[in-house]
Amino acid sequence: MSSTGVQPLVIEDLQLANNREKFVTIFEQTFNASVAEAFSPIRAQDSVSSPRSSESKIQASPSSSFERRVIEVIDGDSFGRKKAFSVDFVESCLERSRPQRLTPRSIISTESASSGRHLIILLHGFQGSSWDMRTFKNHMAIIFPNSVYLTPTCNEGLTEGDIGAMGSRVADEIDKFIQSSFPYLDDLARISVVAHSLGGVIFRTAMKDESLNKYKHKFYTFFSLGSPHCGFIYNPSVLLNTGIWVLRKWSKSTCLDQLSLCDDPDPERTFLFKLSQTPCLEYFVNVLLVASPADKYAPYHSARIEMNEQASKDKKLGSYYSKMVHNLLEPLGRKVNFTRFDVCFLDSKFNLDKFIGRASHIYFLDQPLYILMFLVVYKNYFA
266 has pLDDT over 90: yes
Residue 371 burial (CB < 10 Å; 0-12/13-18/19+)?
buried
Q: What local confidence, expressed as pLDDT, does residue 253 receive?
A: 78
| pLDDT of 100 strictly over 70 | no
HSE, side-chain direction, 13 A CA sphere, residue 234: 27
Task: Identify the pLDDT of residue 82.
Answer: 34
**pLDDT tens track for 327-354:** 999 999 878 999 999 887 665 454 444 4
b/e map 196-217, b = 16+ CB within 10 Å = bbbbbbbbbbbbbbebbeebee
Closest CA to 17 of 65, 78, 51: 65
Q: Is the pLDDT of residue 40 over 70?
A: no
Q: What is the pTM of this model?
A: 0.72
Under 8 Å between Cβ of 250 and 185: no
pLDDT of residue 118 exceeding 90, the answer is yes
Dist. CA 300–CA 287, nearest whole Å: 17
Mean pLDDT, rounded, of the chain: 74
pLDDT of 324 higher than 80:
yes
Portion of the chain with pLDDT greater than 90, in percent = 40
- pLDDT number for residue 95: 43
User: Is the pLDDT reported for residue 209 higher than 60?
Assistant: yes
Closest CA to 66 of 48, 84, 41, 46: 84
Order of strands, sheet of 286-291, starting from the edge strand that comes earlier in the sequence: 82-86, 69-75, 54-59, 24-30, 337-345, 286-291, 219-225, 188-196, 117-123, 148-150
| 150 in Cβ contact with 141 (< 8 Å) | no
Closest CA to 41 of 90, 78, 71, 75: 75
Residue 90 CA to residue 103 CA, distance in Å, equals 10
Question: At 281, is the pLDDT very low, low, confident or very high (cuts 50, 70, 90)?
Answer: very high
Range with the lowest mean pLDDT among 24-28, 128-132, 174-178, 265-269? 24-28
165-184: pLDDT as tens digits: 999 999 999 999 999 999 89
Which is it for strands 219-225 and 188-196: parallel, antiparallel or unpaired? Answer: parallel
Sketch out the chain's domains with CATH numbers. 117-339 (3.40.50.1820)
Determine which of 150-159, 349-358, 373-382 has the lowest per-residue pLDDT on average: 349-358
Mean pLDDT, residues 369-376 taken together: 85
> Nearest 5°: CA angle at 375, between 369 and 376?
85
**Which 3 state secondary structure label does DSSP give 200?**
helix
Query: How many CB atoms within 10 Å of residue 309?
Result: 9
Residue 71's φ and ψ, nearest 5 degrees, are -135, 130
